[in-house]
């Protein structure tokens, strides 16, 4: 699902117009980003937690050439799924033959 599809689902399930649903989704995403930029974590109980972690510089591999490349240190966004999400994903209706 992409952002446009999410907007359509929100519009249909909430009764909002597509324009208002688009604004609502944008405000939620902007609010999460702003909190992360301020150094806060965003915890949505049952859904999950958004946070920022620092990653040390490391050596990676170029996908194009296969050569080693140096990846700089920096901040990376992290999402940790909440318990309710984990349980929902492991409910029988979501299971596939692969596990």
Instruction: Quickly count: other Cβ atoms within 10 Å of residue 7's Cβ.
Output: 20
Is 68 buried (19+), middle (13-18) or exposed (0-12) by CB count in 10 A? exposed
Q: What is the 3-state secondary structure (H, E, C) of the chain?
A: CCHHHHHHHHHHHHCCCHHHHHHHHHHHHHHHHHHHHCCCCEEECCCEEEEEEEECCEEEECCCCCCEEEECCEEEEEEEECHHHHHHHCCHHHCCCCC
Tell me the pLDDT band of 94, cut-offs 50, 70 and 90. low
Taking residues 73-78, report their average pLDDT.
97
**CA dist., res. 75 & res. 37, Å (int):** 10
Percentage of residues in the chain having pLDDT higher than 90? 90
Average pLDDT, the chain: 93
The pLDDT assigned to 93 comes to 76
| Average pLDDT estimate for 53-63 | 96
**Residue pLDDT, tens place only, 4-18:** 999 999 999 999 999
Q: Name beta bridge partners: 61.
A: 68
Q: What is the pLDDT of residue 92?
A: 83
What is the mean predicted confidence (pLDDT) over 67-78?
Answer: 96
């Amino acid at each position: 699902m992409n952002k446009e599809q999410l907007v359509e689902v929100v519009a249909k399930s909430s009764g909002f117009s597509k324009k208002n649903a688009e604004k609502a989704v944008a405000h939620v995403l902007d609010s999460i980003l702003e909190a992360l930029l301020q150094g806060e974590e965003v915890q949505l109980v049952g859904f999950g937690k958004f946070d920022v972690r620092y990653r040390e510089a490391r050596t990676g591999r170029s996908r194009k050439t296969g050569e080693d490349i140096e990846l700089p240190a920096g901040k990376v966004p992290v999402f940790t799924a909440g318990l309710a999400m984990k349980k929902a994903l492991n409910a029988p209706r979501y299971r596939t033959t692969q596990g």
